Amino acid sequence: MYPTKEMDIRTERKENLQQKLIKLKEEKNAVILAHYYQEPEIQEVADFIGDSLELAKKAAQTSAEIIVFAGVHFMAETAKILNPSKKVLLPDLNAGCSLAESCPPDAFREMKEKYPDHMVVTYINCSAEIKTLSDIVCTSSNAEKIINSIPQDKPIIFAPDKNLGSYLMKKTGRKMLLWDGACIVHEAFSLDKLLKLYKENPSAMIIAHPESEDHILKVANYIGSTSGMLNYVKNSDHDTFIVATEAGILHQMQKDVPNKILIPAPAKEDNTCACSECAFMKMNTLQKLYNCLKNEEPEIILDNDLMEKAHRPIKRMLELS
């Protein structure tokens, strides 16, 4: 495709906005934390790019007065819980998460009450209210370590992701009571299309996030968190990979391994990019990011008592990881 005048104008506009954002960030002593699933033009202006665990750690360490979280709502909430006195902004308050929403607090409280002797481990992809009902939080990077740190005779409830939960049961040999939640993006991969793609690329390694369904994990050569997948691709001798997680990760991955071939795992539904994208993550745009830092809104506001209770299980996770 030849560059058109329209493309030049779009690039110029993007670069102008990025420069204005960088200037504004310095003036306001703000930090931009961006998840790997964000659009490349957002990742380019971020101070830190990472997965949930890396960003939670960065949020805990920052000395900036304002945190702009380019990610989804539960991530910005976690940043606020770790920094109650700071201003935490999210470019679009509607950027939710299907997995977090699959675990409503009232129903979860009811389940917890039925099993009072169980320890509650929750994946970080849940609301602040669910975190207040948890003993310890985990991410896909540290979940195995956290489950293994719990005494063998202590029964466990794991929420909200049943796919990650059943993967962890296999890895750790622990039986756990699983909440029936899932992420629509990681459940959107088509096994048939994946196998067809593999047939066309027989030397490819299939790598998958543990939020994916069991039949996808069964054919994967490597299963790991977002950062785990990035490291795997960097250190592997192979040169072609089929990547089963949100397609936004491909931007950072390709930067790390410019000479390797990366193919997004195909989704069941046909869409414009033929891959799986998180519509919630993509609600944030460069323009919304700029507007939110300029106007210092939308801001994440949480009740002090809720923040205090939700902080305990996150603190336990950070101490263990």
Positions that interact with ligand SF4 (CB under 6 A): 72, 97-99, 125, 183-186, 246, 278, 280-281
Identity of the residue, 28 or 282, whose beta carbon is nearer to ligand SF4 in the bound complex? 282
Q: Which residues 6+ apart lie within 8 Å of 132 measured at CB?
A: 306, 309, 310
DSSP notation for 50-114: E-HHHHHHHHHH---SEEEEES-HHHHHHHHHH-TTSEEE-S-TT---HHHHTS-HHHHHHHHHH
The CB-of-59 to ligand SF4 minimum distance in angstroms stands at 16
* Alpha carbon of residue 118 to chain centroid: 26
Residue in 23, 73, 13 with CA at minimum distance from that of residue 294 = 23
Q: Return d(Cα 155, Cα 160) in angstroms, integer.
A: 16
Quick one: 25 or 71, whose CB is closer to ligand SF4?
71
Give the E-state strand segments of 124-265 in sequence order. 136-138, 156-159, 176-178, 205-208, 222-223, 240-244, 261-264
Q: At its nearest, how many Å lie between ligand SF4 and the CB of residue 239?
A: 27
Residues that constitute the known binding site for iminosuccinate: 35, 52, 123-125, 140, 209-211, 226
CA-nearest of 214, 147, 136 to 176 is 147
Look up residue 42 and give its DSSP letter: H
CB of 16 to ligand SF4, least distance (A): 29
- Judging by beta carbons within 10 Å of its beta carbon (0-12, 13-18, 19+), is residue 101 exposed, middle or buried? middle
Nearer to ligand SF4, 83 or 225 (CB): 225
| Residue 123 Cβ vs ligand SF4, minimum distance, rounded to whole Å | 9
* Residue set of the binding site for [4Fe-4S] cluster: 97, 183, 278
Q: Where do we find the tokens 């949020």?
A: 59
Diameter of the chain measured on Cα atoms: 67
Minimal distance in Å, beta carbon 97 to ligand SF4?
3
Cβ nearer to ligand SF4, comparing 280 with 290: 280
Token output for 107: 């129903």
Stretch (H or E) spanning 30 = strand 30-35
When the beta carbons of 99 and 156 are compared against ligand SF4, the nearer one is 99
Question: Would you list which residues are annotated within the binding site?
Answer: 35, 52, 97, 123-125, 140, 183, 209-211, 226, 278
Q: How far is the CB of 157 from ligand SF4 (least distance, A)?
A: 19
Interatomic CA distance for residues 150 and 130, integer angstroms = 20
Q: How far is the CB of 37 from ligand SF4 (least distance, A)?
A: 6
Closer residue to ligand SF4 in complex, CB, 98/134: 98
Positive/negative CA dihedral, 42, 43, 48, 50: positive
Between 36 and 290, CB nearer to ligand SF4: 36
Closest CB to ligand SF4 among 64 and 159?
159
Q: Min. distance of Cβ 35 from ligand SF4 in angstroms?
A: 8
Contacts of 231 (CB under 8 A, 6+ apart): 224
